[in-house]
Every structure is written in C-alpha cells, then in structure tokens.
Structure 1
C-alpha cells in the first residue's frame, strides 16, 4: 500500500508596492529596497517606509523624504481571516494622500485593495493580495517606468475612496492597531 502525503500550500497576504519618482533613473533612491523579491514581514510589526535606517524596515535614499514617512499596520476584524491594513502619515513636514484623501501628521485610514499613495514627488501604487495567515504577510517592491496616476484612472481610484474611513490619530511609535 502506498501512503500519499498531502501538502497544504499556504499563500501569505502580499502588498505589491510599486514606486515612481520623476528623477529615479538618475538617483539611487531605491538602493536599500529589495526590488523584485517577496519579503516576509511580521504582521504585529508596522511596516515603516522612510529615510531612517534605524526605525524603518524599508528605506528610501532621498534627503527630501521624512525620517519616518509612512507606516502600514496589519489587522484582522473579528470572525474574519482576511488581513487588512491601515496607512498612517508619520511625516510632520508634509501631507500624504491616499487616492483622493489627504492625511496630515499621524492621521490614518484603511488601505483599500488598490491605492495610489502620493507624497512629495513620489507616487506609490499599493495592491493588496489576499492570503491565508494571521501572523505574517509579504511585501514586494517594484519600480514603475511611468507614474501610476497616468496608468490608473482616477475615477477607478475614487470608487476605492468610498471604502476608506479615517481612524483616530495614534502615536507614531505604537506597534499595534487598537482593536
């Protein structure tokens, strides 16, 4: 008799983060990012993007970017296995916009499945892929040749904006989403 072993493959949720800056071809902005490779990230640790190598998991080598520019927090709602995310603006210097909504310092909102994030001259398209875990997610960075605002109709982004809700501001060093 042959025994058949059954392998269960679990797919982790993934944030596809697609970056664009008008001067990216002549600057080394993305030299500290793991471009083109999926990286596992612990869900209880916020994903911080900024210029500070000490506090940010992912670093942009650009003096015009804030030390801590933004954070993505993973969370679950009761009776759901789907991992959701909020985005928080950690920059005191400037606004960050998510689709058509502006976020001031320490303001946060739910991240829709597809979101166009803008700050300074950066445009970042974040696409969330569903997965089957509560403890981890993956992140995949890619550089875009053209601005995502040119490729993504704003009317489509406006539809996603209706799903967003602004959360109460939290301290930028808080590690967990308050559910």
Structure 2
C-alpha cells in the first residue's frame, strides 16, 4: 500500500501552466474581465475540465459579457502513454457560435488537440494560449493576462531568440511587413526630393 505522501504532488513539482492572453475591442470601456483574477496563477485539478463562459456557476472562469455563451469553451487535460507532458484538447461548448483554433473552425461540441501556442477566436474575442510544460501529473495552473493589441496583430508574439531585429527596433512577422511597407518606408534615401503638390 502506498503512503499518501508518495502519491501527492510536492511543492517542488513544476506545474504545467496555460498562459491565456485576452483581447476584446471594447475591453477598456466595459468590465469584461472583472470575474477573472488577472496576473495571478490559479491551480486546477487535471481530471476536471476547465470551462470558460458567462455562467460562473457552470464555468471555472467567467466573462462578464451577455454576448458570450453560458458555456463557451472547455479545455480537457490528458497525457499520452509513456509521456510526461500534460496536453490539452479544446472543445466548443457554444450552440450559438463557432470557435476557431489557429484558423480551424470548431462547431458545437467539436474538439481538437490544443497546440503549444494557439490563437482562439469566438465572437469579438481573441485569446492567445501558450502552454508551459511541467512535471506534475495531477494538476495544472492557469494565468490570465489582458493584451493591449489583438494577438493576431501583435508584432512580438513569436520572436525566436536567434531572429535578427529590424532597424526599426522591433520585430515584425512576415505577414505584417507588407502592411508596413504600404504605410511606412522601411528605408529612406536622403537624396530623394520632397514633392509638393
């Protein structure tokens, strides 16, 4: 028979953490995130689904927004045989709306494996979920944060450590380089004449 202390996770166990970064166009004028503990990690049992929605009784976390479904989405933790990693699936619980994961649309009750870095969209919300690996088997942590810009347009969300930085002082993904060229010159030539008209 195993001792209880042998089966419990110790304080030294590194928990898997889901960093959830939220954005909504009207987040500054409404208390959309007033039900969330922003910037604080909270611990959750891996055998219970993590639910997000409007109904704080049925969901682990709530969004204060009448346009959000009562139960919007669920994250389910799982492990593969002989693998130490805690992985997650995401499931759309909304009958009213679709949910997209990195551009793949999920209908009601459909689910898929959650990549280590995923852009989730529902309604006008954008959520960037980043999984930080851990060793503990029975629980994981969640940390919410609010982004000032949509993660789909965030310019520094995936900079590898060996990626050169442009002369502008910030890294821009290739999808935004064309947009920048259309609005701002990336290089200037002092010999160009300024035309007035």
> Which TM bucket (shorter chain)?
0.7 to 0.9
Matches within 5 A, 1:83-122: 83-122=86-125
1:33-77 per-position Cα deviation (integer Å, ceiling 9, x unaligned): 010000001000000000001110100000000000000000001
Distance 1:61 1:13, change over 3 A: same
CA offset digits 1:59-109 (Å, max 9, x no partner): 000000000000000000101110000000000001000001000000000
Residue of structure 1 equivalent to 2:5: none
What is the deviation of 1:154?
9.0
* Residues 23 and 85 of structure 1, relative CA distance in 2, 3 Å threshold: same
Match for 1:150 among 145, 149, 153?
153
What is the TM-score with the length of structure 2 in the denominator? 0.73
Is 1:9 matched up with 2:38?
no
Paired position in structure 2 for 1:20: 23
**1:70 equivalent in structure 2:** 73
Runs of 4+ in structure 1 off by over 6 angstroms are none
Partner of 2:130: 127
2:153 partner SS: helix
Q: Which residue of 2 aligns with 1:55?
A: 58
Distance 1:114 1:122, change over 3 A: same
1: distance between equivalents of 2:121 and 2:143?
A: 18
Count of aligned positions: 149
**SS of residue matched to 1:97:** strand
Gapped regions of structure 2 (runs ≥ 5): 1-9, 158-172, 176-197
Does residue 31 of structure 1 match 2:54?
no
TM-score (norm 1): 0.80
Larger CA Rg, structure 1 vs 2: 2
Task: Name stretches of at least 5 consecutive residues in structure 1 with no aligned partner.
Answer: 1-6, 156-179
- Let me know the Cα RMSD of the aligned residues: 1.5
